[in-house]
Chains A and B, each alone.
Chain A
Amino acid sequence: MSGLSFILAGMLAAATPFLLAALGELVVERAGVLNLGLEGIMALGAVVAFIVVYHGGGHVAAFGVAAVAGILLSLVFGWLALGLRANQVAVGLAVGILGQGLSSLIGNSYESLTITGLPKLAVPVLSDLPVVGGLFAQDAVVWLSLLGTAALWAMFRYSRLGLILRAVGENPQAARAIGYRVVALRLGAVVFGGAMAGLAGAYAATVYTPLWADGMIAGRGWIALALVVFGTWMTGRIFFGALLFGAVSLASLVAQTENWAVPSQLLSALPYIVTIVVLGIITSNKRLLKINGVASLGEPFGP
């Protein structure tokens, strides 16, 4: 298998943890809330999903349990940040650390155990094409994530709910003045974000690399957070950003197997370097940020 076809075949799966978490965070941030606890929520989702699969519960139950775990942890965040109006950055970091700690604790006796992932579902004919064929043989979660991305894009573009979320994020005072329950809507967004982060963790630990190792989320939550800004809060751009990260992280593997003259450490660091560079470019464009950005992001709101 050539390097290119390897990357094409694997990049969707590599992108899925980023994508799921970032889409969840997109909804949260669009509603004006900044949840920095993604990394920890993903770790918790990962460990509970792994345990469910390891004990024979199957992947569907595993993803369900991971979503519930993500919701519970995000409710802690929601209670502190929205209920008590604590500083969202501080609470997000605290909840993230809590999630990572919990995942280490719960996963302690499962360290280095492995399970079986999910089978690939191939699109007939297309998956037999040379080079690009691998792109059309993906597991069920990848296909569902693609559907989910399209659904979210349509929600923000066409639906009333999307409009309301954007309104709440831009000007919560005004949204309340015209009769919306800002805190309830924001809590709903936080819960959705928590469930998505839990699913993202579950995918990472039970499908993408079906084994448990402490710290296996390895910064994916932070990259997902960066992706939301990277994509300037637009669903489509976040999708392509996630794809780019998936492809770049696979490129480092290709480099190692094919003995490229590039140091593999540099390639491993590439996703993070790309994040920094792109974030730098985007945040220097005030116009773009102001038009697409969320005006009340991170500000506590109380009626």
Chain B
Amino acid sequence: MEPAPLLTLRGMTKAYGQVVANDAIDLTVGQNSIHAILGENGAGKSTLMKLIYGVETPDAGEVVWQGNPVQLTSPAEARRLGIGMVFQHFSLFETLTVVENIALIVAGPKAALAARIRELGQDFGLDVDPFAHVHSLSVGERQRVEIIRCLMTEPKLLILDEPTSVLPPQAVGLLFDTLRRLRDRGVSILFISHKLDEIQALCDCATILRGGRVTGRVDPRAHDAHDLARMMIGRDMPPPMQAEPHPVGEVRLELAALDHAPDDPFAVGLSAVSLRLHAGEILGIAGISGNGQAELAKLLSGETRLSAARCDEVRLMGQGVAHLDPAARRALGFAFVPEERLGRGAVPEMTLADNSLLTAHPLGLLKRGFIDRRREAEFTAACIRDFDVRTSGPDAEAGALSGGNLQKFIMGREISLRPKVLFVAQPTWGVDIGAATAIRQRLVQMRNEGVAVLVISEELEELFEICDRIQVIHKGHLSPSLDARNTRAEEIGRWMIGAAGVAA
């Protein structure tokens, strides 16, 4: 007789208001299995994991754990059963040390815990200093701490939510080795991802979600990427379109040995960051998150200003602007789409029409200091139409739009300003594949029209697709410019972990 499956879910349903995030989902996870949950952003993967880990309670459905029906009402209950979870956005405490973080889950004297941490580190390739403060660790090290913390409770099922999204290519291989070793020791793994190649390399079973429903249950090794993609997005994957080489114009944006030590002790300082962005090209900034991208973005947008004496460290259209505020920089022809759509790119509680006013007011939306409501509505309607934003109209609240639609709207608003320099941070983060493709095509189109485009992204594939040149940020240092068409992902990966160019 076959052993009972480790975990069986039947008819799991969870709705948030009108949105059914999980609709009657069935899932069976076997013993000693690496099981993939595959789906686009918004397909319901994270909700399903929260149900399994007891963070959320389902509206309907039953859970069977090792043959026994159970109620997962809290994370503590899930942990007691032997379910551990590694979160996408880590749940570590930054002001505590590694061993203190772990002591929160496992009781015991610190010295003994530290010894256990080192032991697990050796067994599974998870090397980390037990007495380091978490805020001083890299993202990859934090992930190791999370995994060790789960392993300390000796789980039978380990859930990993998009674990590779924070890792450079080299570290992905190491993580996979660790996960295979865990499987061989009897730990089943639920691996959440939207990256097809990773799932084919690692998993022996895959459940595919789309729009909150299961659309496939397959052995990923027996299918090619096209089949998986069709199950995931419901149609064929849009073909990648490599941007054609294109003559470039004058320098529009220049950083000259920019140094910055932020006030925030948890932020990353920048040292001697230099780049030149020309009209008619796309320059990509690659790197693992938390290596100074946020600080660089603020220095570019004007949210962080330098003293007037250092104004030449940031130059726009040949003019030193490092001391100018965002509005002054925008007046020179600079447009900026920040990483956080809600709160920085748009005000969630305001209508789309009022959100257009935020940056597009110079386009005649004001009349003698008062808002011209008619022009405002016209502008917003044009944005919605031209950029294929799916919404009820200009009066919809920004917070009610999906991530992809709001991103298209913000991009549309900024593009309508006809900027000379467009700076976009994480253009397709949390955006579905269809909208992501549209946004990338739009960026290439901007470039072809002679706009200088700067893109910060953690998605290497995206940068290879649209960029002419790539520079890599690591611990606040920026690599030299690399030709996107003649550089391999492995080389970018070496720069991402600081292993390239050190001796050279």
Interface string of A163-180 (1 = CB under 8 A from B): 110110011011111111
Report A-chain residues with C-beta under 8 Å of the C-beta of B107. Answer: 160
Query: When the two chains form the complex, which single residue of A163, A170, A179, A287 contacts B94, counting CB atoms closer than 8 Å?
Result: A170
Tell me the minimal C-beta distance from A254 to chain B in angstroms: 41
Cα A171 to Cα B300 in complex, Å, equals 30
Q: Known A178-B75, A179-B74, A179-B75; judge A287-B263 contact (CB<8 A).
A: yes
- B445: Cβ under 8 A from any A Cβ: no
B contact face: mostly helix, strand, loop, or mixed: loop
Q: Do B264 and A286 have beta carbons less than 8 Å apart? A: yes
Chain B positions within 8 Å of A, measured between CB atoms, are 53, 55, 74-76, 79, 85, 87, 90-96, 100, 103-105, 107, 149, 263-266
Q: In the complex, A180→B77 CA distance in Å?
A: 11
**Within the complex, which residue of A163, A167, A176, A291 is in contact with B75, where a contact is CB–CB below 8 Å?**
A176
List A contacts of B92 (CB < 8 A): 174
The residues of A with any CB-CB pair to B shorter than 8 Å are: 160, 163-164, 166-167, 170-171, 173-180, 286-287, 290-291, 295
CA distance A176 to B94 in the complex (A): 16
Known contacts A178-B75, A178-B105, A290 near B93 by CB under 8 Å: no
Q: A170-B94, A173-B91, A291-B95 are in contact. Are A286 and B263 (CB under 8 A)?
A: yes
Q: Assess the B75–A177 pair: CB atoms within 8 A.
A: yes
- Whether A171 contacts B76 in the complex (CB less than 8 A), given A160-B107, A163-B100, comes out as no
Docked Cα-Cα span, A160 to B101, in Å, equals: 11
User: A170 touching B95 by the CB < 8 A rule?
Assistant: yes
Given contacts A170-B95, A174-B93, A177-B75, contact A163 B103 (CB under 8 A): yes
Of A171, A175, A179, A290, most buried by chain B (CB within 10 Å of CB) is: A179
Chain A residue numbers with a CB within 8 Å of B90 are 174
Interface residues of chain A: helix, strand, loop or mixed (majority): helix
Q: Among B75, B85, B265, point to the contact of A287 (Cβ < 8 A).
A: B265
| Given known contacts A177-B87, A179-B76, A179-B79, A171 and B265 CB-to-CB distance under 8 angstroms | no
CA distance A176 to B76 in the complex (A): 8
How far apart are A301's CB and chain B's nearest CB, in angstroms? 14
A170 to B87, CA, bound (A): 17
Residue pair A170, B93 in contact (C-beta under 8 Å): yes
Can you list 8 A-B contacts (CB < 8 A)? A163-B96, A164-B104, A166-B93, A173-B91, A177-B55, A178-B91, A178-B105, A291-B95
Q: How far is the CB of A98 from chain B (nearest CB, A)?
A: 32
| Residue in A closest to B149 when the chains form the complex, CB atoms | A178
- Determine the distance from Cα of A171 to Cα of B55 in the docked complex, in whole angstroms: 15
A171 touching B93, Cβ below 8 Å = yes
Contacts of B105 in A (CB 8 A): 178-179
Q: Which residues of B contact A163 (CB under 8 A)?
A: 96, 100, 103-104
CB-nearest residue of chain B relative to A294?
A: B95
B85 CB contact (under 8 Å) in A177, A180, A290, A295: A177
Q: With A and B bound together, what is the CA distance between A245 and B266 in angstroms? A: 33
